[in-house]
């Protein structure tokens, strides 16, 4: 891993939606009549965060770390995957300055869930909740997101060398 003081990464994930809930988002079970379909728990937000951190650290992507061809990853909790990645990146000497995340979903409305999601991510990564931005956007009834066929998330992260902290 390189020794630059700051490293920027971005991550994206999307999953199909299917009937039956709840929806796992940011490690939280959000009441909804649809759920994400995937090999793991299909948490698009935590997958985007994981990929952003991996990208910033130039350490590959979530599919390399947790392949969907591995039976051990079937139904796996995305919080566990993010924690494993983050523990490794911290050992390389990095801390998180901030995360800026966006979830793209027509429904459910996430306003009443955003604080709980941010709290879970902050506890998981052992950072302040103020270091996590979370926005929610609809698909305006257009395309797979707008027609509630899919959900997506995007995340940008800024990492800083731990030994460069003043």
pLDDT tens column, 17-38: 999 989 999 999 999 999 999 9
Token pair 């909804």 is found at 32
Q: Which two tokens stand for residue 56?
A: 């910033």
Looking at the DSSP assignment, which residues form a beta bridge with residue 151? 15
The predicted model gives 47-68 an average pLDDT of 96
pLDDT beyond 90 at 1 = no
Its pTM stands at 0.94
Most confident of 2-6, 68-72, 133-137: 133-137
Residue among 20, 144, 125, 84 nearest 155 (CA) = 125
Widest Cα–Cα separation across the chain: 50
- pLDDT score, position 4: 76
**CATH topology (fold) of 6-164:** 60s Ribosomal Protein L30; Chain: A; (3.30.1330)
Helix (H) or strand (E) holding 25, with range, is: strand 23-25
- pLDDT score, position 21: 85
Instruction: Give the CA-trace dihedral at 30, 36, 55, 90, to 10 degrees.
Output: 50
Q: Which two tokens stand for residue 46?
A: 């935590």
The predicted model gives 76-92 an average pLDDT of 96
- Every domain of the chain and the residues it spans: 6-164
Helix (H) or strand (E) holding 3, with range, is: none
Residues 6+ apart with CB under 8 A from 1: 57, 58, 59, 92, 93
CA-CA distances (angstroms) from residue 131 to 12, 32, 62, 98, 154? 19, 27, 22, 5, 16
pLDDT tens-digit series, residues 101-159: 999 999 999 999 999 999 999 999 999 999 999 999 999 999 999 999 999 999 999 99
- Mean of pLDDT over the chain: 94
């Amino acid at each position: 891993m390189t020794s630059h003081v700051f490293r920027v990464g971005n991550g994206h994930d999307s999953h199909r939606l299917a009937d039956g809930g709840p929806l796992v988002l940011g490690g939280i079970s959000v009441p909804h009549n649809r759920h994400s379909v995937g090999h793991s728990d299909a948490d698009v937000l935590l997958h985007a965060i994981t990929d952003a951190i991996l990208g910033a650290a130039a350490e590959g992507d979530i599919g390399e770390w947790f392949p969907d061809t591995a039976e051990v990853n079937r139904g796996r909790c995305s919080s566990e995957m993010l924690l494993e990645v983050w523990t490794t990146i911290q050992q390389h000497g990095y801390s998180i300055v901030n995360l800026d995340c966006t979830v793209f979903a027509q429904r459910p409305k996430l306003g009443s869930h955003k604080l709980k999601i941010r709290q879970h991510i902050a506890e998981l990564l052992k950072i302040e909740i103020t270091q996590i931005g979370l926005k929610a956007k609809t698909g305006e009834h257009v395309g797979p997101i707008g027609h509630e066929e899919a959900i997506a998330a995007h995340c940008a992260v800024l990492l800083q060398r731990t030994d460069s902290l003043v």
